[in-house]
Amino acid sequence: MNEILIKDGFIATMSKDKRIIQQGSLYIEDGVIVDIGKKVQTPRSPEIVIDAKHKVIMPGFVNVHSHLQQYFRGVYELMGDFYNTNLPLEGYRRPEDMDWLGDASCAEFIHGGCTTSMVIYTYIDGFAKAVEKAGQRVILGSDIEEVDLNRLKQGVYEYLPEKGKAAFKRSVDTHRKWHRKNGLITTVMAPKAADLAVPETYLKCKEYADENELRMTTHLSQSTREIRHVEKLYGKTPPEHLRDLCVLNDNLTGAHCTYATEKDTQLIAESGMGILHCRSTSNPLMDWIDRDIPIGLGTDDYHHDIIQLIRENISGQRRRARAVGGAFGMLASNKITARPSFYELLEFATRKGAEVLGIGDEVGSLEKGKKADIITVNMLNPYLTPTRDPLTSIVLYGNPSDIDYVVVDGKILKASGELTTINREKALLTAQKRTDEIINRFFEDHPSQRESWEKMTMKGQ
């Protein structure tokens, strides 16, 4: 039997009743929380004891929407040209490269305390292999997109049925190969967006999802380009389009919804669909919260640090509120009523995120009977302590290095700040070498891109 006692910490359960235990303990048997409270029952001396004095014990983060684009950091952010840099560079990454990059991705998620992540990526296999070894909880989706991206660069949508067919097959293969492979990995059907996948593909995905009891996820109302094209093709907004296809329901999650109209928001609320919110501050977030639309937080593309994402949300919402003089539901003139509150954002990153993904009964809060997906945060850092409220300190000043223990399903994946299932140095240096090779290949074929990048980094001098 695998037993862990985490004792004498400040426990933020993130449960519905917002239970906080100022100094408490938590006892885990075979991956399940069997007791939690000021004093816990431990039948005999447990195998592992973690002293959580001066630590916050809380549920691991649930990262509801992410992609594996972090390898090209240092290029993407400097160039900022999606069609001329990001997209073609992605094309230089071969599926087999992922066998060399997966460990580094797992390291990033675990280091940052993401005990569950939904990861959508075209070539997911190499990452899945790394996850199996690393041991975190993931929901994998191989995305289905079927337009000619070279033509899209010029603003032309040309649908390629063969590309769609191959992507659908990859998605089915991902399900067959990985779904419930080790109890921690599940899969999802992921048509990319209403402008990038045709109605038949959405329907095929729905049929496959229904047959195999899978959930679906998609990007929804993310860009003005998408809105314009869906309007042109179908005379509808993207949520209306998906409603008419009968896929807008509580089995679907939609990422972003930045440009959802008021009517769209109403539709979404009625449908039960959950929203995967990332860093946009021009979406009607407060309206979603007030309508009880299920919401989770996702890191999206290059940087999978949930604490940083929460901070970006706070500063973005505040800036926006100030700019508009305190918009409806976000009275920035008054700090007490400014929204979303830090606690609300933490809820999105934990329990509510789990609910959005349909796994709220299993993870997302620390309660008896739930799976032991837990992080501890070391508060003995000069920028976190002293504090009257540890959660406020973590949200505003914490970072992944403060997370010293990460437990998933009762297994310790990070202990005293070190990853236990991944050789961090090897994983990162292997990924560095591989990405350098990929980027060099891209620059060889695109000398003007190399030149612009060198100018940005001053390498040309």
Q: Which residues bind Zn ion (CB under 5 A)?
A: 255
Please identify, using beta-carbon distances, which residue of 188 and 255 lies nearer to Zn ion. 255
Closer to Zn ion by CB, 118 or 128: give it: 118
Beta carbon nearer to Zn ion, 229 or 277: 277
* Cβ proximity of 438 and 92 under 8 Å: yes
Least separation, in Å, of the C-beta of 167 and Zn ion?
16
Cβ closest to Zn ion, residue 119 vs residue 255 = 255
> Whole-angstrom Cα distance, residue 414 to residue 398?
17
CB of 305 to Zn ion, least distance (A): 16
To Zn ion, the closest distance from the beta carbon of 328 in angstroms equals 27
Place of tokens 């209306």: 240
Nearer to Zn ion, 57 or 275 (CB): 275
Measured in whole angstroms, the distance separating CA 227 from the mean position of its chain's CA atoms is 24
Nearest approach in angstroms of CB 67 to Zn ion is 6
In angstroms, give the least distance from the CB of 256 to Zn ion: 7
* H-run or E-run covering 290: helix 285-290
Nearest CB to Zn ion, comparing residues 28 and 295: 295
Task: Tell me the residue number closest to Zn ion, measured at CB.
Answer: 255
> Least distance to Zn ion from the beta carbon of 181, Å?
24
Cβ–Cβ contacts within 10 Å for residue 415, how many?
A: 15
Q: How far is the CB of 146 from Zn ion (least distance, A)?
A: 17
Spatial separation of the C-alpha atoms in residues 90 and 460, rounded to whole Å = 24
The per-residue DSSP string of 317-357 comes to HHHHHHHTTS-TT--TTSTTT-SS-HHHHHHHHTHHHHHHT
Contact criterion met (CB below 8 Å) for 59 and 405: no
**CB nearer to Zn ion: pick between 6 and 139:** 139
Q: How far is the CB of 65 from Zn ion (least distance, A)?
A: 6
Tokens matching residue 377: 């945060």
Contact 259, 223 (CB under 8 A): yes
Nearer to Zn ion, 255 or 310 (CB): 255
Q: Which long-range contacts (CB under 8 A, 24 or more apart) does 425-434 make?
A: 426/103, 427/103, 427/104, 427/106, 427/107, 428/104, 428/107, 430/100, 430/101, 430/103, 430/104, 431/71, 431/100, 431/101, 431/103, 431/104, 433/100, 434/71, 434/97, 434/100, 434/101
Q: How far is the CB of 301 from Zn ion (least distance, A)?
A: 7
How many residues in total does the chain contain?
461
Residue closer to Zn ion (CB basis): 118 or 255: 255
Cβ atoms of 26 and 6 within 8 Å: the answer is yes
Is the backbone peptide bond immediately before 294 cis, with ω within 30 degrees of 0?
Answer: no
